[in-house]
């Protein structure tokens, strides 16, 4: 099983480009499963049902979310109805959607977990205990497990990854939009990277026009963020998992346009 995990997709231009290139990339690299963080897919953050459906048609198998997943209220019912789109599991249970799903792909039952960090972010339920409960509830129901940790602090992502090392096959971080250089196999066998990076305009400030960010940070005044124009780059990692081994066989960074 070869898995491609892509970082936060930022804005309609990145979605358009992904729709043009992903299936070709999948075929050339023999990708069996694609996970993408989609919480910034639409203009002004968030994701709509229409955009999610475009991403699925483009070759994405599961969409994970984060702190912007509830930005577009029109997606709320879709979060309840569609098994392939997730929001962080440690948000209150009363909210739309779910934080884990099991998908059948190429004869594999793949458990995907989406959880959000709490350091420098909203005070949600404990991500450690939330994920432990998910693993306990789904014990024996899956062949491979994958987790997206949507978090600000690298230390929290690493702590979560080391806690679940050997219990979850593939663990990736999202949210900062900056790829980290630590893609590796952890001591107990889990594939890991602290942050996948971003699917968006590389010559930007996390996908946003640089001048907007300079004005905001220099003058400390309210500033409307505009998405940057330019060439779109896709950043992430590829994992390989075989039925004979626990965890990942290898993990490597990828970047394409």
Residues with active-site annotation? 68
Q: Is 133 helix (H, G, I), strand (E, B) or coil?
A: helix
Give the 3-state DSSP-derived string for 9-73, with helices as H, strands as E and coil as C.
Answer: ECHHHHHHHHHHHHHHHHHHHCCCEEEEECCCCCCCCCCCHHHHHHHHHHCCCEEECCCCCCCCH
Q: How far lies 166's CA from each of 111, 162, 191, 248, in Å?
A: 15, 9, 9, 10
């Amino acid at each position: 099983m070869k898995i491609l995990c892509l970082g936060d997709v930022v804005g309609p231009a990145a979605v358009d480009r992904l729709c043009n290139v992903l299936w070709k990339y999948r075929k050339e690299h023999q990708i069996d499963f694609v996970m993408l963080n989609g919480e910034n897919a639409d203009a002004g953050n968030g994701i709509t049902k229409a955009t999610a459906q475009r991403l699925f048609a483009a070759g994405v198998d599961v969409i994970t979310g984060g702190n912007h997943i509830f930005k577009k209220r029109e997606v709320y019912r879709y979060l309840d109805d569609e098994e392939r789109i997730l929001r962080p599991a440690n948000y209150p249970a009363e909210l739309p959607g779910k934080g884990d799903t099991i998908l059948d792909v190429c004869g594999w039952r793949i458990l995907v977990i989406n959880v959000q960090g709490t350091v420098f972010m909203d005070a949600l339920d404990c991500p450690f205990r939330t994920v432990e409960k998910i693993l306990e509830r789904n014990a024996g129901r899956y062949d491979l497990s994958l987790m997206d940790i949507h978090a600000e602090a690298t230390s929290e992502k690493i702590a979560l990854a080391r806690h679940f090392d050997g219990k979850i096959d593939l663990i990736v971080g999202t949210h900062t939009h900056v790829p980290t250089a630590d893609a590796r196999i952890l001591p107990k066998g889990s594939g890991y990277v602290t942050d996948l990076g971003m699917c968006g305009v590389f010559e930007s400030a996390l996908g946003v026009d640089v001048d907007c960010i300079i004005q905001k940070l220099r003058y400390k005044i309210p500033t409307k963020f505009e998405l940057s124009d330019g060439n779109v780059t896709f950043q992430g990692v590829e994992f390989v998992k075989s039925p004979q081994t626990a965890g990942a066989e290898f993990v490597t960074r990828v970047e394409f346009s």
